[in-house]
Structure 1
Amino acid sequence: MATESQRSLVGDVLAGTRRILASAKHRVGITEDQNNLMGFAFVAPNILVFSAFLLGPVLYAFYISFQEWSILAGAGTWVGLTNYVEVLRPLPLAYTGNGLTWRPEVLTSPSANLWWYALKNTFVYAIGTVPLQIFGGLAVALMLDKRVRFKKTYRAAYFMPVMLSGAASAVMWRWFLAGDGVINSVLPTFLEHNWAGDPGTALGGVMLMAVWGGIGSNMIFFLAGLQNIPEELYEAARIDGASAWHRFRHVTWPSLGNTNFFVFVMAIISAFQVFGIALVFSEGGPVYATTTTVLLIYQRAFEEGAFGEGAAMAFLLFILIFSFSYYQYRYRDETEVDY
């Protein structure tokens, strides 16, 4: 028969267990008057699939980044941070006896460091495409949001580039921009140029192709945002004598705050992950002019067999994109337009 002290000990253990469970429920959002077990049951398959097919391979790639990996042997040799050092060295900023020294050749010469050169190409690509994709999509959406004839036809025409595969678009634009392509056939003789084969203009060709395809996808998001703005706001602004510009500035633009944030973040992420069109358009050439970070990762890992360095590059890019996304979510204006 259990003694009084034993029963007291069991009671204390059960009470402690209940407190731990109550604390755990509070942390995950389960309250006494709310049972979320059914919700967890619904999301469990997605969590399992995510863990098995996305999170697992990502963690395994992170493990490979610390090794000199051989895909044929299915094993590697532990090298620690050597892959990261090899990728980043030499740095654009070097410390000397006189302090920090800027070395621009690291960014401008692929022979100095191909990672930094590809990262520079990616930044140039993002700066040149993201604003045009966003404001171009907004302009088209504003035009098609009005009562115009053949509105559905225009929407389909602007959205058509999105329906094409990246490979098909790259092949088409390479044909347009070749030395004997369509663009040169309509230009004066003194303006003819091999736009796709010149290192100075090849990246511009990829950027032009990205803008052509990105405007249509952003147009859809902006159209959805515009159609959710109540017409009463515009009517009130007209009654107050607001011009078209003031209606856009004080009604349309603030009401598109969430849409602007989503489109901007997704456009930046997409720009830093550009791969397919650069690969098909020129395979990173000529002279690495269109080599982006993701294309370099692919070439280093799957063409050269340096899976360790490729994985290290992938995680450096992940840190860059994650830092930008976190900064945007952390410091963006949290106010939303409610009606």
Structure 2
Amino acid sequence: MSVKNRFGRVKDTLSTPIERLERLFNSDTNKDNFAGLLFILPNIIVFSIFLFGPVLFAFYLSFTEWNVLAGEPEWVGLDNYIDILTPPPWEDGWAVLDNPTANLWWHAVIKTSTYTLGVVPLSISGGLCAALLLDRDLRNKRLFRAAYFMPVMLSGAVSAIIWRWILNQDGIVNSLLEPIGLAHNWSGDPSTALASVMLIAIWGGIGFNMIIFLAGLQNIPEELYDAARIDGTSGWQRFRHVTWPNLQNTYFFVIVLSIIGSFQVFAIAMTFAEGGPYYATTTIAVLIYQEAFQHGSMGVAAAMAFILFSIVFVFSYYQYRVRGNGEVNY
């Protein structure tokens, strides 16, 4: 039985759920959608069990006080978040800058922000310059590309071990600098340890960014460069008015990915100096690890992880909303 509603459309009034399902799967489009859903269903199940489920459990843990070896979690509400964020960093004249133990969380945030400000611009600009050079017709171009990309194939821990050996008190760098009186314990001095970690990250990040930029450069139509040459433009003008506008989406992707990765840096800092000396390389991820597995404070570590997630999410969402998918302007 059907009647017309106030818009003049026919509406089933006595249709049963079974009849609705039959009509749903009688359509060819709906059949294809259902078949596709069946294909991705195993992935959804695995994602829910092994990823989404642990995330929800960690969110619950962030409101508890729990040690893995000490029984059941004890509900403490927002106490973990309050303890992490207080005292604020500006209290006592920014004492956290000189005394990390005043609040390790804010100290880690400052160190991670410093790391980000140093690594992201240099790794992106270095990757772009390398991509522009290797996009030309050069001899042994593939060899150079492989050489630049080789650090990316090494894990962060392996890279940190190699550079710790190079920058050690008795390392290769000091053996070269010692004759001119510039030898220094680069990894053991709190004033240079973070800079050493930044050097490792830049060394490894340039190759990855280069590959992304190369992909973007190769998608730019050659006709645009030909038209620009006919107009008598210089190399800089072609870069400014042709290359750069067409790389905007690529650049947006690289900068967002680089900043997210820099806020999550762990393997390099942990392997290179284990957060030291004197908390000099204690980034947010390193501090979370130390709280969870060295101090046994799973609840506090989970709360820190979700604060970090909030920072990364807000930044990524803001960048997406501001940048969006704008059109290229020449």
Q: Percent of aligned pairs with the same residue?
A: 61
Aligned to 1:292: 283
1:194 partner SS: coil
Aligned to 1:211: 202
1:190 and 2:181 correspond: yes
Letter in 1 for 2:285: V
CA distance in 1, matches of 2:256, 2:311: 13
Aligned to 2:314: 323
Task: Note the 1:41-52 alignment, pairs <5 A.
Answer: 41-52=38-49
Q: Deviation at 1:49?
A: 1.5
Alignment partner of 2:63 out of 57, 61, 66: 66
CA distance in 1, matches of 2:74, 2:156: 37
Letter in 2 for 1:58: V
Contact preservation (8 Å) 2:149, 2:207? yes
Aligned to 1:160: 150
Aligned to 1:276: 267
Letter in 2 for 1:288: Y
Alignment partner of 2:222 out of 225, 231, 240: 231
The superposition leaves residues 137-177 of structure 1 with CA deviations (integer Å, 9 ceiling, x where unpaired) of 01000000000111011011101101112111101111111
Aligned to 2:13: 12
1:146 partner SS: coil
Which 10-residue stretch deviates more, 300-309 or 47-56?
47-56
Task: Note the 1:89-128 alignment, pairs <5 A.
Answer: 89-93=86-90, 103-128=93-118
CA distance in 2, matches of 1:247, 1:217: 25
The superposition leaves residues 250-278 of structure 1 with CA deviations (integer Å, 9 ceiling, x where unpaired) of 11011111111111111001000000010
Alignment partner of 1:258 out of 249, 262, 265: 249
Q: Deviation at 1:80?
A: 0.6
Segments of 5+ residues of structure 2 without an aligned counterpart are 1-11
CA distance in 2, matches of 1:48, 1:254: 42
2:66 partner SS: strand
CA distance in 2, matches of 1:111, 1:134: 33
CA distance in 2, matches of 1:222, 1:61: 36
Aligned to 1:5: none
CA distance in 1, matches of 2:328, 2:46: 35
CA distance in 1, matches of 2:19, 2:309: 40
2:88 partner SS: coil
Contact preservation (8 Å) 2:89, 2:103? no
Letter in 2 for 1:255: N
Alignment partner of 2:139 out of 136, 142, 149: 149
Contact preservation (8 Å) 2:157, 2:268? yes
Contact preservation (8 Å) 2:186, 2:196? yes
Number of residue equivalences: 314
Aligned to 2:304: 313
Letter in 2 for 1:236: A
Contact preservation (8 Å) 2:120, 2:259? yes
Segments of 5+ residues of structure 1 without an aligned counterpart are 1-10, 95-101
2:185 partner SS: coil
CA distance in 2, matches of 1:219, 1:281: 25
Which 10-residue stretch deviates more, 216-225 or 65-74?
65-74
Q: Deviation at 1:337?
A: 4.8
CA distance in 2, matches of 1:200, 1:17: 71
Aligned to 1:201: 192
Give the TM-score normalised by the residue count of structure 2. 0.89
Give the TM-score normalised by the residue count of structure 1. 0.87
1:303 and 2:294 correspond: yes
Q: Deviation at 1:319?
A: 0.3
Aligned to 1:140: 130
Letter in 2 for 1:293: I
CA distance in 1, matches of 2:58, 2:219: 42
